[in-house]
Chain A
């Protein structure tokens, strides 16, 4: 077990940011904490990185208690905060050198770990970190978090503020890092990133709704699900919400996703319903649920037991 969290709670005044959260992460796993902004992801990360003391509960990272053994723990973890936290007035090289030095590590010894990432930064090694693009900053931050060869890596919303191509590259790197045995805990508000994790925990308002593999989550989705579109999407979504008392419909890219719990409305019936309301250009096809559909369902209907 690489990370084990038991009933961790944390409040800021009257606001309970994390409510008795428990989960476990296996060694060499990419584990995603998926949830909207304000769900408590960053608080949880800061507790696990020994920056914040929990009000209650216990957590161990790589076998070390995050409260008692924090000194030893800090040598074994790499933490990349959600906000870029390197020295903007130091160059790429100076930042990396500084963080290697304070960990008593040498860039040379651990270069193999960061090589794939750092080669992209090398042409800019004299540039000040503050002058890098968002994607480059992310890569530099990852290098600095890895330079002391941590056993566990905490990445708090690494995808925020980064273009899709850089994000994809970043995730490719994470997969390669996993291959070298590093456990990765990553948080994100992007549902497409969730599908790239080995396992995910869906978190909302400080509570975990479900923990499963992305495949397991979508497989556990039991309701009939359709992708629908028409010429007037706004009216379409409103009309479909009235299809049955518990029907739900929400925008999903170019389409709207329609959930009809309990079934009972075959495609033909839905098409007829839409035609009766004067919709034109209607397209309707049954689809497989994504992690986002699962998440929306969970937010609405509470915790699943899978």
Chain B
């Protein structure tokens, strides 16, 4: 065990000496969390709205004013004909059209309900979907939906765990999971391959250092670094984004401890097959890009095709992102994440076992 300590000590000496490494480890989680959370969100504001008001009544004007006051829309142009509005939409001058039919106010007063038409440019389906969603909400607040007929059903909804659908709340825990996974996987792979590339492994291999000692000496430092990065990331999430932290933070750290070996082991496994740092980088990227795009951070993992979901069971980042959201946003306790916890534990054991098995001190 003392040998492992000496190895860890050596590793930290190298990390702290590296003028590039330490700032990267401390600054990267902060910058990426802040940058990605602000930039990579689905919240859409200032959509350009084209209005065609055939009614021109106080009520229709009030509806248009509501759109402008919502913050989501900016009334870019009031057109007199739907043809003109369509042309604006086609040349990308506006994002969506609100068309108010003649006799809108009269119908509403007489019949208690009225209709408007909303047309959106769906080149970007996400944007269009959200725009329509916002528009619908505004229209409904102004015009109550038709009262249910006898025996009919009325659908109402509320958003739990993120009542105002704040995307930062949703993104920050996930991004944190992705960043930590990415960094520790890269660091481990590169660090071990570097020893081979520079030739220091040759000198290490003739010492009595045992295989498990060497491996533990390599994994422990990055394991600790993962915890430090988690602490920094949570602090940023709390200080800057005020993300809710409903769950037990001790559980978050415990889970990080159990999860980190998955990514460390993957990095280690990659290093066993890579002869140079360049090869290691490309191999690690190949897997990480798949992991990150499929982890559920950007698109819900549950809506992927069946085969992709099966494949995704091998994606460790998915479990981490899922866990972070469950515990931080939903306040899940151990009982709720037990399956995830043990899956990750097994995953780590298998990956590290494989890495251990493929690592050779002599050829």
Contacts and interface: CB of A to CB of B under 8 A. Distances in A.
B363 interface: yes
B208 A89 contact: no
B206 A102 contact: no
B6 interface: yes
A101 B5 CA distance: 10
A99 B206 contact: no
Interface string B200-223: 111111111100000000000000
Interface in A47-68: 49-53
Interface string B175-217: 0000000000000000000000011111111111100000000
B208 A90 contact: no
B213 to A, nearest CB: 9
Given A89-B18, A101-B6, A83 B206 contact: no
Given A79-B206, A103-B207, A87 B10 contact: yes
B362 A51 contact: yes
Interface in A91-123: 94, 98-99, 101-104
Contact of A89 (B3, B14, B205): B14
A218 interface: no
B199 A81 contact: yes
Contact of A86 (B7, B200, B206, B209): B200
Nearest to B7: A102
A89 B17 contact: yes
A53 B363 contact: yes
A24 B218 CA distance: 39
Q: Which of A53, A77, A90, A144 has the most CB of B within 10 A?
A: A90
A88 to B, nearest CB: 7
A84 interface: yes
B13 interface: yes
B17 A51 contact: no
B17 A83 contact: no
Contacts of A99: 203, 207
A258 B53 CA distance: 110
A297 to B, nearest CB: 35
B207 A50 contact: no
B199 A90 contact: no
Interface in A238-275: none
Interface in B269-303: none
Given A85-B203, A98-B10, A74 B208 contact: yes
Q: Which of A74, A79, A85, A88 has the most CB of B within 10 A?
A: A85
Given A98-B6, A102-B6, A88 B203 contact: no
Interface string B89-112: 000000000000000000000000
Given A102-B3, A102-B7, A71 B206 contact: no
A126 B203 CA distance: 21
> Looking at chain B, what size class is its interface with the partner chain?
20 to 34
A50 B17 contact: no
A52 B363 CA distance: 5
Contacts of B362: 50-53, 70
A223 interface: no
A75 interface: yes
A49 B206 contact: yes
Nearest to A130: B198
B203 A86 contact: yes
B209 A51 contact: no
B198 A88 contact: yes
A101 B204 CA distance: 12
Contacts of A87: 10, 14, 200
Interface string B330-363: 0000000000000000000000000000000111
B165 to A, nearest CB: 49
Contacts of B206: 49-51, 74, 77, 79
B327 to A, nearest CB: 39
A85 B6 contact: no
B207 A85 contact: no
A75 B13 CA distance: 25
Interface string B71-102: 00000000000000000000000000000000
Contacts of B17: 89-90
Nearest to B6: A101
A261 to B, nearest CB: 44
A86 B200 CA distance: 6
A71 B17 CA distance: 32
Contact of A85 (B7, B13, B14, B199): B199
A104 B18 CA distance: 27
A74 B205 CA distance: 9
Nearest to B210: A71
Nearest to B200: A85
Contacts of A89: 14, 17-18
Given A85-B199, A89-B18, A104-B3, 10 more contacts: A50-B206, A51-B205, A77-B206, A81-B203, A83-B199, A83-B202, A87-B14, A94-B13, A101-B6, A103-B207
Interface of A: 49-53, 70-71, 74-75, 77, 79, 81, 83-90, 94, 98-99, 101-104, 144
5 contacts: A85-B198, A85-B203, A98-B6, A99-B207, A102-B207
Interface of B: 2-3, 6-7, 10, 13-14, 17-18, 198-209, 361-363
